[in-house]
């Protein structure tokens, strides 16, 4: 590379960093002492052979060349991007210069405006010092007006210049930020270019090393091939010489048999030759026996190889069984995941049902609150009615029948109100029970969600265990593949040795070689089948991995749903707690109302006791009244002289009756005022209503439980009214 290109490559940095070079795993080079591969022999025999080792060795070099080309293209792209960045940098610098010029012009204009402003200030000072002279000089006024106009124009221009300067400052800041971004991008590109150059240098070094290794391997292969070819040629020459010698000897034997009749003298020599031939035959038989033994050993080795292949097949079967087991486990996990889906759906349905129940209970609570507010309004109305009735009572004590009918109606209304209160209490208890049921259901739902989460964690651990098993199976498959490759290399080596021995043998050795070739073909077929099975197993493993990924995605979705459900459950718990708090408040209010009712009942009992005491006093006075009437006729003259003595008991009784009524009414009013001062506005309404209702109920109870007392009181009232009339007539 030229120095300029190197500098640009150091400064450049591509937008997308080049990935590491992906090279296939090279096969191990053959050892120097190992026999030649069977590919050469197959090439000699004319069979369809595989690619040569030179081509196989050239493949990594081609791949490295392709990687180098890719790196060079990436460097070219980085250079182009660097050029673009430099152009952008130049544009930004030009814009910065323009902005600086504009800023300088604005500063100059500001300076001029400041000078003019200072002049105008001086002129104004001068005019302030000499106001009379300025008033006399119209020309000075005109100059002052012109200066003011200029001042205004300069101020407006100054404002415009300030706005322009502000905009230029903003543009400068933007340009500065863009320049900083460009510098960062440039530095990043330079670092990436340096990394790419380093990677390129490393790749070039690796390529050089690989080329050296390839050349060395080529030299070793050539030397081994030449040595093996020489040895094979020598062995072939020896065998051909032996064959030619044997052929000559056979020809000589034939000629000797023909010349037996003609030449009897040569018989002895021929016998000697026959003995020699027999010895050679015995030697050849021994050699043949040795070769047979070797063939048997080779067959034994082949059987061992077959057994090893069978064992490998069994191991593959076991691996397949393990894969089947893992597939069954995955199916079970899928079924369990489906069950979890169903559980989650059922939980969602239950949550919706619980939400509906909570809504229903909230509606019921709202209805109960509305009913309570209606009851409070009715109680207030009744209290107002009671006040009106009391006013009417105080105005018209003689209309007892109307009052009794109104009291009966009010008692009926009071009974209805008590029934409504009991019904509202029942509804509150029902709401409480429903809230307790909701709380228990929520607890059950939380427990079920926890159990589902624990099951999910267990399933996740099982999936991780299955993944580990899959990885172990992959490792075992790779190990099996490597062992099969080693076995293939060993089989190829044995095949080469057998071919060499078969070439030395005669017809039996040829038959053995043919059998060996057939076995070799069967081995190749079995190996191909095993490779196909391995490919199928890999495909199945990929499918299982895809299924596992899908299950993981589904599990993540389930987790999100579970989190959503937990959030909904938390909200439901909050709503239930709020409802519980409201029910507790209602209970507290009801307890307060019950306490107030008890207080009112106690007050009613006190009033009844007071009324009974008053009735006893009235009875005593009633006994005194007839005595007073009998003595009235005898003491008319005394009454004329000092008539206040006979009428004193009647006046006392009337005053006592009026005082008892007034004290009862005042005590009830004071208690109502005390209750209204202690309670809030909302509770004040309900409490006052209940107090009035309690007073009414006490009076009504008195009226209902003691009708005889009412009759007695009526009689006494009539008596008192008669006495009062008599008193008034007297």
Predicted confidence (pLDDT) per residue in 503-547, tens digit: 666 666 566 657 767 776 877 777 777 677 767 767 777 776 777
Q: Is 622 found in the same domain as 607?
A: no
Same-domain status, 619 and 706: yes
More confident residue, 653 or 355: 355
The token pair at 645 is 């003595």
User: Reduced to 3 states, what is the DSSP secondary structure of residue 505?
Assistant: coil
Long-range (24+ apart) CB contacts under 8 A made by 605-611 are: 605/698, 607/664, 607/698, 607/699, 607/702, 608/698, 608/702, 610/660, 610/664, 611/660, 611/702, 611/709
* pLDDT for the residue numbered 330: 67
Cβ-in-10-Å burial (0-12, 13-18, 19+) of 705 comes to: exposed
* Residue 357 and residue 386 in one domain: yes
| Res. 598: pLDDT tops 70 | yes
**pLDDT beyond 50 at 41:** no
Q: What is the pLDDT of residues 135-150, one digit of tens each?
A: 555 665 666 677 777 7
583 part of a folded domain: yes
Q: Which two tokens stand for residue 682?
A: 């909302």
pLDDT of 14 over the 50 cut: no
Kindly tell me if the per-residue pLDDT of 50 is higher than 60.
no
DSSP readout, 129-172? H-HHHHHH-HHHHHHHHHHHHHHHHHHHHHHHHHHHHHHHHHHH
First-to-last CA distance in the chain? 151
Average pLDDT over residues 32-61: 45
Alpha-carbon span 603 to 698, nearest angstrom: 8
pLDDT score for 5: 44
User: Does the structure show a pLDDT above 60 at 42?
Assistant: no
- CA–CA separation, 169 vs 18, rounded Å? 40
Q: 379-401 burial, b for 16+ CB within 10 Å, e for fewer?
A: beebbebbeebbeebeeeeeeee
Would the pLDDT of 454 be above 60?
yes
Measured in residues, the chain has a length of: 730
For residue 369, the model assigns a pLDDT of 67
Is residue 213 situated within a structural domain? Answer: yes
* Contact indicator for 92, 178 with CB cutoff of 8 Å: yes
* HSE toward the beta carbon, residue 249, CA cutoff 13 A: 15
Tell me the percentage of the chain whose pLDDT exceeds 90. Answer: 0
The pLDDT-based confidence of 341 (bands split at 50, 70, 90) is: low
pLDDT (tens digit per residue) in 633-661: 444 444 444 444 344 444 444 555 555 54
CA distance linking residue 509 with residue 291, whole number of Å = 8
Residues 623 and 601 in one domain: no
SS (H, E, C) 355-407: HHHHHHHHHHHHHHHHHHHHHHHHHHHHHHHHHHHHHHHHHCCCCHHHHHHHH
Span 91-95, mean pLDDT? 76
CATH number of residue 155's parent domain:
1.10.287
Q: Which residue has the tokens 């707690």?
A: 577
> What are 385's two structure tokens?
């009615």
Give the Cα separation of 274 and 66 in Å (integer). Answer: 72
In a domain, 241, yes or no: no
Name the token pair of 467: 């993944």
Instruction: Tell me if 554 is assigned to some domain.
Output: yes
Domain that residue 66 falls in:
3-17+34-42+51-236
CA 536 – CA 683 distance, rounded (Å): 83
Give the per-residue pLDDT at 643.
43
178 and 90 share one domain: yes
CA 172 to chain centre: 45
CB burial of residue 665 (10 Å; 0-12, 13-18, 19+):
middle
Same domain, yes or no: 591 and 618: no
Residue 365 to residues 56, 548, 569, 585, 589, Cα–Cα distance (Å): 87, 50, 21, 12, 14
Q: Is 102 exposed, middle or buried (0-12, 13-18, 19+ CB in 10 A)?
A: middle
Query: How many Cβ atoms are within 10 Å of 113's Cβ, its own excluded?
Result: 20
Higher pLDDT, 276 or 659: 276
User: How much is the pLDDT for 713?
Assistant: 61
Residues 219 and 313 in one domain: no
Residue 709 has pLDDT above 80, yes or no: no
**197 within a domain of the structure (yes/no):** yes
- 280 and 228 in one domain? no
State whether 465 and 421 are in the same domain: yes
Q: How far is CA 552 from the centre of its chain?
A: 13
Q: Is residue 639 part of a domain?
A: no
244: in domain? no
Encode pLDDT of 58-71 as tens digits: 555 676 677 677 77
Place of tokens 């509770």: 683
Residue 634 covered by a domain: no
* pLDDT for the residue numbered 690: 39
Average pLDDT over residues 197-215: 77
Please say whether the beta carbons of 713 and 619 come within 8 A.
Answer: no
Residue 497 and residue 593 share a domain: yes
Report whether 688 contacts 593 (CB < 8 A): no
Query: What 8-state DSSP symbol labels residue 121?
Result: H
Residue in the structure block whose two tokens are 């059922």: 346
Instruction: Tell me if 214 sits within 8 A of 62, measured CB to CB.
Output: no
Q: Do residues 191 and 13 lie in contact, with contact meaning Cβ atoms separated by under 8 Å? A: yes
**What is the rounded CA–CA span in Å between residue 369 and residue 381?**
18
Statement to judge: residues 596 and 621 lie in one domain: no
Q: Indicate if 653 and 594 belong to the same structural domain.
A: no
| Final residue before a domain boundary, out of 560, 586, 612 | 612
How many domains, in total, are found in the chain? Answer: 3
Mean pLDDT over each residue of the chain, to the nearest integer: 66
Q: Under 8 Å CB-to-CB from 531, ≥6 apart: which residues?
A: 484
């Amino acid at each position: 590379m030229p120095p300029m290109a190197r500098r640009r490559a150091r400064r450049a940095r591509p937008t997308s960093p080049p990935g590491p070079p992906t090279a296939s795993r090279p096969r191990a080079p053959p050892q120097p002492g190992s026999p030649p591969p069977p590919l050469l022999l197959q090439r000699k025999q004319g069979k369809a052979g595989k690619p040569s080792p030179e081509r196989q060795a050239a493949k990594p070099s081609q791949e490295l060349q392709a990687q180098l080309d890719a790196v060079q293209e990436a460097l070219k792209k980085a250079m182009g991007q660097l050029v673009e960045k430099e152009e952008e940098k130049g544009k930004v610098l030009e814009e910065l210069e323009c902005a600086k010029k504009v800023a300088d012009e604005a500063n100059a204009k500001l300076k001029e405006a400041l000078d003019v402003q200072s002049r105008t200030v001086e002129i104004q000072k001068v005019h302030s010092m000499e106001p009379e002279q300025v008033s006399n000089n119209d020309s000075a006024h005109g100059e002052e007006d012109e200066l003011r106009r200029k001042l205004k124009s300069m101020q407006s221009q100054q404002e415009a210049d300030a706005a322009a300067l502000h905009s230029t400052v903003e543009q400068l800041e933007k340009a500065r930020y863009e320049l900083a971004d460009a510098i960062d991008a440039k530095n990043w590109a330079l670092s990436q270019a340096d990394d790419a150059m380093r990677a390129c240098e490393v790749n070039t070094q690796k390529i050089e090393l690989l080329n050296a290794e390839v050349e060395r391997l080529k030299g070793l292969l050539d030397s081994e091939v030449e040595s093996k070819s020489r040895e094979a040629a020598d062995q072939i020459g020896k065998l051909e010489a032996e064959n030619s010698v044997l052929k000559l000897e056979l020809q000589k034997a034939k000629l000797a048999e023909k010349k037996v009749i003609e030449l009897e003298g040569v018989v002895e020599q021929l016998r000697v030759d026959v003995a020699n031939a027999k010895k050679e035959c015995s030697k050849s038989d021994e050699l043949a026996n040795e070769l047979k033994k070797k063939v048997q050993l080779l067959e034994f080795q082949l059987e061992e190889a077959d057994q090893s292949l069978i064992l490998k097949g069994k191991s593959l079967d076991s691996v397949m069984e393990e894969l089947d087991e893992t597939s069954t486990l995955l199916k079970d996990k899928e079924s369990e995941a489906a069950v979890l889906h169903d559980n989650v759906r059922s939980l969602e349905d239950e949550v919706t049902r619980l939400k509906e129940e909570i809504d229903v209970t909230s509606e019921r609570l709202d209805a109960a609150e509305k009913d309570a507010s209606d009851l409070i309004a009715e109680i207030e109305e009744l209290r107002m009615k009671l006040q009106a009735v009391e006013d009417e009572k105080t105005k018209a004590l003689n209309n007892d029948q109307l009052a009794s009918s109104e009291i009966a109606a009010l008692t009926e209304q009071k009974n209805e109100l008590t029934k409504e209160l009991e019904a509202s209490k029942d509804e509150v208890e029902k709401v409480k029970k429903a809230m307790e049921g909701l709380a228990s259901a929520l607890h059950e739902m939380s427990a079920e969600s926890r159990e589902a989460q624990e099951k999910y964690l267990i399933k996740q651990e099982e999936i991780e265990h299955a993944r580990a098993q899959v990885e172990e199976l992959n490792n075992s498959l790779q190990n099996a593949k490597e062992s099969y490759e080693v076995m293939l290399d060993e089989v190829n080596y044995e095949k080469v040795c057998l071919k060499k021995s078969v070439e030395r043998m005669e017809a039996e050795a040829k038959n053995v070689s043919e059998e060996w070739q057939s076995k070799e073909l069967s081995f190749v077929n079995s190996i191909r089948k095993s490779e196909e099975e391995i490919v199928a197993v890999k495909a199945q493993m990929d499918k299982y991995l895809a299924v596992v990924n899908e299950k993981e995605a589904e599990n993540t979705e389930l987790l999100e749903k579970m989190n959503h459900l937990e959030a909904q459950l938390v909200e439901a718990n909050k709503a239930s707690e709020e409802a519980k708090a409201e029910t507790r408040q209602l209970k507290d209010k009801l307890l307060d109302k019950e306490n107030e009712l008890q207080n009112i009942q106690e007050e009613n009992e006190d009033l009844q006791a007071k009324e009974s005491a008053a009735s006893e006093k009235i009875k005593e006075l009633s006994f005194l009244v007839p005595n007073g009437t009998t003595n009235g006729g005898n003491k008319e003259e005394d009454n004329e002289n000092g008539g206040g003595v006979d009428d004193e008991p009647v006046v006392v009784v009337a005053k006592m009756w009026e005082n008892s009524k007034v004290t009862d009414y005042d005590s009830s009013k004071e208690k109502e005022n005390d209750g209204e001062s202690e309670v809030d506005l909302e509770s004040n309404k309900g409490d006052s209503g209940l107090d009035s209702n309690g007073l009414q109920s006490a009076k009504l109870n008195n009226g209902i439980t003691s009708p005889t007392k009412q009759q007695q009181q009526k009689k006494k009232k009539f008596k008192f009214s008669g006495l009062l009339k008599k008193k008034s007539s007297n």
